């Protein structure tokens, strides 16, 4: 399994880096939009929607993504705060699983959630990218490092379950190992971008990591509710595309929100 994961991840990472630094802005934004739309197709599987309803769901999502692509990515902080408030409400459902997710068992609500969180994540990508490819890579790198660190630390040291009712394979030791690697990556990017490494920056990076862990757990709740193991089979060894993007869904809006407060980090 690990070999298959690596064989899939390495070319994907290389292709993404080439697109990030070589494609013109409009082409990169279009590519990310297509990826988010594919994730939306898998989200419809978890809703679940079939046939024409699934196509209709994707059509609405596509329209929302197109609208986001024309939007000014630096939204007023209050709108990002509302987005984070949505994720806080979802956190309550996950924390009390399975008792607390009765409302999310309703397919209609799961569908509307997809229309909310996927365009928000896309908007966050555009906002971070507008600040510079390295800024976007910084946010992505923190989340990816948390995932990689958690995987290996969990396999080596995992004892205490993080959320046994939601995802029995995750452990506190893995989460802490992932957080440590993610903070190291965040510090490296801050130094590369000549941003002072302050306690506020470290605390904010840790919060982004916590959001990424929650995003993973939230998708696990969706999959358990839908009765499926993976969101799809597009990525051998990883499952579906949504299985790779789930941690980014709450983490990137938080990072985009924090981007507007970067001067505070310098203080």
Digit-coded pLDDT (tens) for 130-148: 989 999 999 999 999 999 9
Report how many domains make up the chain. 1
Does the pLDDT at position 34 exceed 70?
yes
CA distance 73 to 54: 28
Residue 141's domain comprises: 2-266
Q: How confident is the model at residue 2, as a pLDDT? A: 64
Three-class SS state of 240: coil
Comparing 94-103, 178-187, 198-207, 249-258, which segment has the lowest mean pLDDT?
Answer: 94-103
Flag whether pLDDT at 264 surpasses 50.
no
Mean pLDDT of 65-72: 82
pLDDT in tens, 3-26: 777 767 788 889 999 999 999 999
> Tokens representing 124?
């966050």
Highest mean pLDDT out of 154-163, 172-181, 190-199, 221-230: 172-181
Q: Which pLDDT band holds residue 265 (cuts at 50, 70, 90)?
A: very low
What is the average pLDDT across 165-185? 93
Beta bridge partners of 171: 161
The answer to whether residue 262 scores a pLDDT higher than 60 is: no
Q: What is the predicted pLDDT for the residue at 266?
A: 39
Mean pLDDT of 223-250: 82
Mean pLDDT of the region 165-186: 94
Residue with the larger pLDDT of the pair 259 and 214: 214
Beta pairing class for 167-171 and 161-163: antiparallel
Contact 220, 169 (CB under 8 A): no
| Number of Cβ within a 10 Å radius of residue 171 | 22
Q: Is the pLDDT reported for residue 192 higher than 60? A: yes
Separation of CA 25 from chain center: 21
238 pLDDT higher than 90? no
Burial of 192 per CB tally in 10 Å (0-12, 13-18, 19+): exposed
* pTM: predicted TM-score of the whole model, two decimal places: 0.92
Q: What is the mean pLDDT of the chain?
A: 86
pLDDT at 98 over 60: yes
Give the DSSP per-residue string, 63-109. Answer: HHHHHHHTS-SS--HHHHHHHHHHHHHHHHHHHTTTGGGTGGGSHHH
pLDDT band, residue 108 (cuts 50/70/90): confident
- Res 103: pLDDT: 67
Quick one: pLDDT at residue 48?
A: 78
Task: Tell me whether residue 124 is exposed, middle or buried, using C-beta atoms within 10 angstroms of its C-beta: 0 to 12, 13 to 18, 19 or more.
Answer: buried
Give the residue, 44 or 239, on which the prediction is more confident. 44
């Amino acid at each position: 399994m690990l070999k298959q994961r690596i064989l899939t991840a390495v070319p994907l990472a290389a292709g993404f880096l080439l697109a990030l630094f070589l494609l013109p802005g409009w082409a990169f934004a279009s590519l990310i939009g297509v990826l988010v739309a594919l994730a939306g197709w898998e989200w419809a599987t978890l809703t679940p929607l079939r046939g024409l309803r699934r196509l209709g769901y994707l059509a609405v999502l596509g329209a929302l993504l197109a609208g986001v692509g024309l939007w000014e990515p630096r939204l007023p902080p209050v709108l990002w705060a509302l987005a984070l408030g949505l994720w806080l409400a979802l956190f309550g459902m996950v924390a009390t699983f399975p008792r607390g997710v009765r409302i999310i068992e309703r397919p209609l609500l799961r569908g509307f959630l997809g229309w909310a969180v996927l365009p928000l994540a896309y908007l966050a990508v555009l906002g971070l990218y507008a600040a510079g490819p390295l800024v976007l890579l910084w946010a992505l790198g923190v989340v990816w490092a948390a995932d990689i660190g958690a995987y290996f630390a969990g396999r080596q040291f995992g004892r205490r379950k993080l959320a046994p009712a939601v995802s029995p394979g995750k452990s506190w030791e893995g989460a802490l190992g992932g957080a440590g690697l993610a903070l190291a990556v965040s510090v490296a990017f801050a130094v590369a971008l000549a941003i002072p490494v302050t306690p506020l920056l470290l605390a904010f990076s840790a919060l982004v990591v916590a959001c990424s862990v929650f995003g993973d757990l939230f998708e696990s709740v969706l999959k358990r509710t839908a009765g499926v193991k993976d969101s799809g089979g597009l990525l051998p060894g990883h499952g579906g595309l949504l299985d790779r993007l789930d941690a980014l869904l709450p983490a990137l809006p938080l990072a985009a929100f924090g981007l507007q407060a970067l001067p505070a980090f310098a203080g």
